[in-house]
Chains A and B, each alone.
Chain A
Amino acid sequence: MNIFRILGDVSHLLAMIILLVKIWRSKSCAGISGKSQILFALVFTTRYLDLFTIFISVYNTVMKVIFLVCAYITVYMIYMKFHKTFDREHDSFRLEFLLVPVTGLSFLENHSFTPLEILWTFSIYLESVAILPQLFMISKTGEAETITTHYLFFLGLYRALYLANWIWRYHTENFYDQIAVVSGVVQTIFYCDFFYLYVTKVLKGKKLSLP
């Protein structure tokens, strides 16, 4: 466990908490893509099946359970509790465009052809693109609430910190997982445009709106 990994996990957790607090305080999920949140719930569900097969550490188990619970509460908030505030019209990204290639790729390119490993690979590939419905929604409406941009910032920061973690692990432990690294790079690239807008607009006190 290195500093990048810990900070990465903390910013991932922080992102999810920011989103939940935003929805809970405003009693609204306006501007949030329910589809992205369903994908994240699917990501955690398919990735953390090893909770049932192996014990790694208390930290590992507790964090996996917290992530799962947060993801499902978020989906519940959007589709059940505050569903009237959900902007269904603008959340129009076609999920099959992500799910079909990701499923196919996880069968083709994995560490071993076993159910758990294929599901883990599926979750890694899916996570790298799961934010696209949310980014698509923002590009469609042309704006995002500031708190939503904080959520996106910490979610992107988490994966960027994991990249640093992998570089660190490669040099110190000779650890290298090609599937995770390649997907992680792809995932981080999707946030670059947003990071630029976040730094040039949101951090200067302006609302994120697209021209």
Chain B
Amino acid sequence: GQGVDGKDEL
């Protein structure tokens, strides 16, 4: 998912 410390979307 879109966690606070990393994003899976570009």
By a beta-carbon cutoff of 8 Å, the part of chain A in contact with chain B is: 5, 9, 12, 47, 50, 53-54, 56-57, 60, 63-64, 67, 111-112, 114, 116-117, 120, 162, 165, 173, 175, 177, 180
Contacts and interface: CB of A to CB of B under 8 A. Distances in A.
Interface string B1-10: 1111111111
Contact of B8 (A47, A56, A112, A120): A56
A116 B7 CA distance: 11
B4 A114 contact: yes
Interface of B: 1-10
A60 B10 contact: yes
- Classify the interface of chain B: helix, strand, loop or mixed: loop
A43 to B, nearest CB: 11
B5 A64 contact: no
A175 B2 CA distance: 9
- Classify the interface of chain A: helix, strand, loop or mixed: helix
7 contacts: A50-B7, A54-B6, A56-B7, A116-B5, A117-B4, A175-B1, A180-B9
A173 B8 CA distance: 14
B4, B6, B7, B8, most chain A CB atoms within 10 A: B7
Contacts of B8: 56-57, 60
A117 B7 CA distance: 10
Contacts of B3: 54
B5 A9 contact: no
B10 A112 contact: no
Contacts of A67: 10
A17 B9 CA distance: 20
B7 to A, nearest CB: 6
Given A111-B4, A117-B4, A175-B2, A12 B10 contact: yes
